[in-house]
């Protein structure tokens, strides 16, 4: 079974630009969550999508948004990039539903904002 795929793996942008990151979950998984990982703040939850609907959202500004498509693939968008947005962005997929299904993480997209 293929794992979680994230594209691109590396990205360099400049301040003020916007960026879109993509995540393809494990086949059959309907839940996709996004996390930001930085040395200073650690791993922080951004949002979760299930069946194309955002179910939970972390404490991030509105510049961070996402969506999920009918095939469960998800995209995350960051507008008006700031230097502090430089981070590893991780996507995690799970079957979803009400129980604590295991989340499988992708390798992440390393975003550098110059």
Partner 1 sequence: QQQVKQSPQSLIVQKGGISIINCAYENTAFDYFPWYQQFPGKGPALLIAIRPDVSEKKEGRFTISFNKSAKQFSLHIMDSQPGDSATYFCAATPSGSARQLTFGSGTQLTVLP
Residues near partner 1, by CB under 8 A: 4, 31, 33, 35, 42-45, 48, 55-56, 58-59, 90, 92, 94, 96-108
Minimum gap (Å) between residue 37 Cβ and partner 1: 9
In the complex with partner 1, which residue's Cβ is closer, 13 or 60?
Answer: 60
- The closest of 37, 18, 11, 13 to 92, measured between CA atoms, is 37
In the complex with partner 1, which residue's Cβ is closer, 18 or 43?
Answer: 43
Minimum gap (Å) between residue 97 Cβ and partner 1: 8
Query: What is the distance between the alpha carbons of residues 31 and 52, in angstroms, rounded to a whole number?
Result: 9
Contacts of 23 by beta carbon, 8 Å cutoff, 6+ apart: 4, 5, 6, 32, 34, 73, 74, 75, 76, 91, 93, 106
Query: What is the distance between the alpha carbons of residues 107 and 91, in angstroms, rounded to a whole number?
Result: 8
Minimum gap (Å) between residue 114 Cβ and partner 1: 22
Minimum gap (Å) between residue 15 Cβ and partner 1: 26
In the complex with partner 1, which residue's Cβ is closer, 70 or 100?
Answer: 100
């Amino acid at each position: 079974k293929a794992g979680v795929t994230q594209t691109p793996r590396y990205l360099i942008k400049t301040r003020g630009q916007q960026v879109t990151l993509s995540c393809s979950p494990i086949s059959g998984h309907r839940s996709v969550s996004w996390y930001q990982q930085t040395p200073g703040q650690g791993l922080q939850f951004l949002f979760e999508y299930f069946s194309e609907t955002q179910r939970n959202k972390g404490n991030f500004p509105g510049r961070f948004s996402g969506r999920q498509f009918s095939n469960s693939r998800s995209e995350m968008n960051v507008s008006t990039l700031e230097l502090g947005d430089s981070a590893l962005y991780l996507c995690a997929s799970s079957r979803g539903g009400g129980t604590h299904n295991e989340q499988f993480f992708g390798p992440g997209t390393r975003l550098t904002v110059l």
